[in-house]
């Protein structure tokens, strides 16, 4: 394999990770602020990674279509990205809620 091909593959992978993680943590922050819900980073990252080709296609459409797509992605993550509860283990959100302000 040529060095240029490896560089291209590496840069493409790094760009997709950057886009996925940015969207994941932005939606995670929105869900926490609006609904006080904690979501799984792994589940959310998987959902966003699967949606990346569609995100690329929607970038060249109107603002309304892009907004509608991200609203749908937000709803999908809200429904399917919930963090699993563990027996007798507190999540970071539970610990923060017990602290006095």
DSSP line for 33-61: HHH---B-HHHHHHHHHHHHHHHHHHTTS
Question: For the CA atoms of the chain, what is the radius of gyration?
Answer: 17
Intra-chain end-to-end CA distance of the chain, in Å: 57
Share of the chain above pLDDT 70, in %: 87
Mean pLDDT across 83-98: 69
Cα separations in angstroms, 22 against 1, 6, 30, 87: 31, 24, 12, 31
Position with higher pLDDT, 24 vs 101: 24
The pTM (predicted TM-score) of the whole model is 0.75
What are 32-71's pLDDT values in tens digits? Answer: 889 888 888 888 999 999 999 988 888 888 889 989 999 9
């Amino acid at each position: 394999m040529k060095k240029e091909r490896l560089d291209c593959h590496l840069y493409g992978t790094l760009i997709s990770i950057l886009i996925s993680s940015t969207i994941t943590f932005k939606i995670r922050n929105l869900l926490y602020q609006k609904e006080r819900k904690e979501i799984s980073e792994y589940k959310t990252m998987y959902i966003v990674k699967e949606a990346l080709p569609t995100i690329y296609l929607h970038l060249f459409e109107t603002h309304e279509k892009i907004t509608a797509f991200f609203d749908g992605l937000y709803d999908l993550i809200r429904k399917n990205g919930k963090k699993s509860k563990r027996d007798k283990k507190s999540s970071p959100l539970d610990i923060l809620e017990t602290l006095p302000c």
